[in-house]
Amino acid sequence: MDYSVIVPVYHESTGINSLIDHVRSLAGQRGQKAEIIVVDGSPLAETVSAIKRDDVKKMVSSPGRGTQMNAGAEAASGEVLVFLHADTRLPPSAFSLVSSLLEDPAVCGGAFDLGIDDDRKFYRVIERMANLRSRLTRIPYGDQTIFLRSCVFSSIGGYRNIPIFEDVDLMRRIKAAGLQLGFIDSPVVTSARRWQREGILRTTFRNWLILAGYFAGFSPGFLERFYRREAS
């Protein structure tokens, strides 16, 4: 099974090469084929300019995570698209785990459990709640590293060009279409930098509030402006 790992970035030049090396090391464990596509949303393109390896597809697009991931998907050749955030690391044997899950032709894709790169106990609570929520709702979020068969991603219309919750919107459309997702217990590990920078309680409460607003029908544009104001 061939993979395309799509990484949307914006001012991530410091860590992009370590992420690429991480993905390459995992893909090489059992000879899986995994192309890496980095899509820079900054007009300065400083992240893709910092990439040292030649075996990476480097792209620049309009900013916006959904827009960037769609651009990467259009350039992808893999049977499976893996949407990996720049501050997230995959678990060991990630590609083998995905391959095993997708041996069932009824499964169109899925996501990993969430882990957070901080030892404090409150983060374990956040992890448990996120993983329970994704299983109960069957709607994983982007920081859990969503993966989909490329044919399904294309047929469902990809990500919508909305400024926030593009991941939730896509998963809701997949769920509404009656397509089956699977979940992998081995967690990805995402950076705690957002919680550390803005405060654990404040960030968690704000995220819940914005999510409630989304499901209540507030527009993504309004919610994105609220998010930016609260994060500043």
Helix axis angle, 200-215 to 220-231, nearest 10°? 170
Same domain, 175 and 221: no
If asked whether residues 228 and 165 sit together in one domain, one would say no
For 142-176, write each residue's pLDDT tens digit.
999 999 999 999 999 999 999 999 999 999 999 99
198 shares its domain with 179: no
Residues 101 and 158 both lie in one domain: yes
Helix 166-176 vs helix 65-75: angle between axes, to the nearest 10 degrees? 60
Same domain? For 122 and 220 the reply is no
Complete edge-to-edge strand list for the sheet that includes strand 107-116: 56-60, 33-40, 2-9, 80-83, 146-149, 107-116, 180-190, 88-89
Same domain, 198 and 159: no
Residue 198: pLDDT band by 50, 70, 90 thresholds?
A: confident
Q: What is the DSSP string of 161-228?
A: S-SS-HHHHHHHHHHHTT-EEEEEEEEEEE--HHHHHH-HHHHHHHHHHHHHHHHTT--HHHHHHHHH
Claim to verify: residue 205 and residue 124 sit in the same structural domain: no
**172-195: string of b/e by CB count within 10 Å (b at 16+)?**
eebeeeebebbebeebbbbbbebb
44 with 72, same domain: the answer is yes
For residues 54 and 11, membership in a common domain is answered with: yes
How many domains are contained in the chain?
2
CA gap 42, 86 in Å, rounded: 14
First-to-last alpha carbon distance for the chain, in angstroms, is 43
* Residue written as token pair 């374990």: 124
Clarify whether residues 121 and 224 are in a common domain. Answer: no
Distances (CA, A) of 148 to 50, 54, 77, 107, 217: 28, 26, 13, 9, 26
Over residues 102-128, the pLDDT tens digits come to 999 999 999 999 999 999 999 999 999
In 3D, which of 149, 138, 142 has the Cα closest to residue 98?
Answer: 149
Evaluate if pTM is beyond 0.75: yes
CATH number of the domain that 136 lies in?
A: 3.90.550.10
pLDDT tens-place string over residues 11-42: 999 999 999 999 999 987 766 789 999 999 99
What pLDDT score was predicted for residue 200?
Answer: 87
Say if residue 97 is in the same domain as residue 10. yes
Give the domain extent around 23. Answer: 2-191
Query: Do 212 and 156 share a structural domain?
Result: no
